[in-house]
Amino acid sequence: MRAFVTGATGFIGRCLVDRLVRDGDDVSALVRKDDHDLPATVRVAIGCVEDGREVLAQAMAGCDVVFHLAARVSFDPRSLTDLLRVNGDGTREVLAAARSASVPRTVVVSSACTIGLSDRPEKLLDENTPLDARLVDRNPYMRSKCAAEACAMEASRGGQWVVIVDPTTVFGAGDRTLNSGTLVRQVARAAVLPVPPGGSNVIDVDDVVDGLFAAAREGRSGKRYILGGANLRFGEILDSVASVVGRRPVMVPLPGLARLPMTVAAWVVQRLTGSRLITPQIVADTFAYKFFSSERAEAELGWRARRDFTSTLSSAWDYYRREGLITLQAGAAS
């Protein structure tokens, strides 16, 4: 197989590239800078998804499949214009390039955040869950990913073979920018840790990569596929992280009434630090449930998440420590 990968140096993208190389596939990758550390056998095109469809089409010529993972991640409302340009318009350019280069299949990697949230744990969300416009309005990243999915659906209606995959919260080795690793770092460093009442679906990065292959092989054009693992309350997630890290901060359960003051506090932190991951929207969402069903992916792709969450965390923790990305609080033992 000849594969073209955008976002090849990102968390999921790099794991995908490594798997393709191990399987003996012919890999081309789009990277923004020449100082990447991709395997030597990967053919590299320097650029970005906004460079235009002609440049992208030349780079992906002769490929059997495009895996489109390149995206900007930010939840800061001030980044909305840039998010829409990269995630929305960039996806349109990649899809147009794939058509121009006659690539038979394109897998667009989006996010389960486009599915939404629920207010109770027993309600599992799936690909048919109606979109809540209020969530889109307050979440710039969600809005940009919805725009990307709309581009993919439009291309599919026009006859192009395109599927969308929506991974949930991804953990595992290779998370060098500490997306999910931010939570692990908090457990490793904090003395006291608030525990919100909501929950999230968690999945191993290797299970996601398995899902990308399954989507390229078995997916139905124009369909979305949630790739999810275990639905866990935040208390359960933090307990698992503490067990793997080997230290346990004082965990303080938060009542639902704490949502407003915690959201205000997050607004202050974001304004002072410019954090892209601590925002009022993110904090508010921890009081809700991102519990998902992957039944469609299981039925149509023959895929299922197989890695245990504790094993996933152990792999991630070993990686963080080995790379010096997370250190324990002074005096703590690993």
- Residue 6 is encoded by which pair of tokens? 């955008």
Q: What is the SS3 assignment for 74?
A: coil
Please give the Cα distance from 329 to 158 (Å, whole number).
54
The yes-or-no verdict on residue 127 having pLDDT over 60 is yes
Average pLDDT over residues 62-91: 95
pLDDT digits over 314-325, tens only? 999 999 999 999
- What integer is the mean pLDDT of 219-246? 97
Structure letter (DSSP) for residue 180: T
The arithmetic mean of pLDDT across residues 290-306, rounded, is 98
pLDDT, tens digit (0-9, with 9 covering 90-100), for 173-220: 999 999 999 999 999 999 999 999 999 999 999 999 999 999 999 999
Rounded to an integer, the average pLDDT of 40-69 is 92
Residue 334, pLDDT > 70, answer: no
Give the pLDDT of residue 40: 92
Four-residue CA torsion sign, 70, 183, 77, 292: positive
Query: Which carries the bigger pLDDT value, residue 280 or residue 56?
Result: 56
Helix (H) or strand (E) holding 198: none
Q: Examine the pLDDT at 276 and tell me if it is beyond 70.
A: no
- The percent of residues above 90 in pLDDT, for the chain, comes to 81
Range with lowest mean pLDDT among 45-54, 82-91, 203-212: 45-54
Least confident of 46-60, 132-146, 195-209, 222-236: 46-60
Rg (CA), the chain: 20
Q: What is the mean pLDDT of residues 158-165?
A: 98
Please tell me the distance from the alpha carbon of residue 159 to that of residue 172, in angstroms, as a whole number.
36
**In 23-164, which ranges are continuous DSSP H helix?**
53-60, 80-83, 90-100, 133-138, 140-157
Judged against a pLDDT cut of 90, whether residue 285 lies above it is answered with no
Give backbone dihedrals phi and psi of 37, rounded to 5 degrees, phi first. Answer: -125, 35
Long-range contact set of residues 92-96: C-beta below 8 Å, sequence gap at least 24 = 92/151, 93/49, 93/50, 93/51, 93/52, 93/53, 93/56, 94/6, 94/49, 94/53, 94/56, 94/66, 94/68, 94/70, 95/68, 95/151, 95/152, 95/155, 95/160, 95/162, 96/53, 96/57
pLDDT at res. 77: 86
Q: How confident is the model at residue 277 (pLDDT cuts 50, 70, 90)?
A: low
Position 273 confidence tier, pLDDT thresholds 50, 70, 90: confident
pLDDT of residue 239: 97
> 279 falls in which pLDDT band (50, 70, 90)?
confident
DSSP secondary structure string, 115-149? T--BSSTT--B-TTSPP-HHHHHH-HHHHHHHHHH
Q: Average pLDDT, whole number, for the chain?
A: 93
Of the candidate ranges 52-56, 82-86, 256-260, 284-288, the one whose mean pLDDT is the lowest: 256-260
Name the nearest CA neighbour of 83 among 30, 148, 34, 31: 148
- What residues contact 132, with CB distance under 8 A and at least 6 apart? 116, 117
Question: Element (H or E) spanning 101, and its range?
Answer: none
Mean pLDDT of the region 124-143: 94
Is residue 161 predicted with pLDDT exceeding 70?
yes
290 and 229 in contact (C-beta within 8 Å)?
A: no
pTM of the model: 0.93
Query: What pLDDT score was predicted for residue 25?
Result: 97
> Does residue 330 register a pLDDT over 70?
no
CATH topology of domain 2-175+201-231+290-307: Rossmann fold (3.40.50)
- 309 falls in which pLDDT band (50, 70, 90)? very high
Give the chain's end-to-end CA distance (angstroms, integer): 42
Lowest mean pLDDT among 11-15, 33-37, 39-43, 75-79: 33-37
pLDDT at 332 over 60: no
Judge contact between 241 and 184, C-beta under 8 A: yes
What does the pLDDT read at residue 263?
82
Q: Count of alpha carbons within 13 Å of 137, Cβ hemisphere only?
A: 3
Mean pLDDT value across residues 262-279: 74
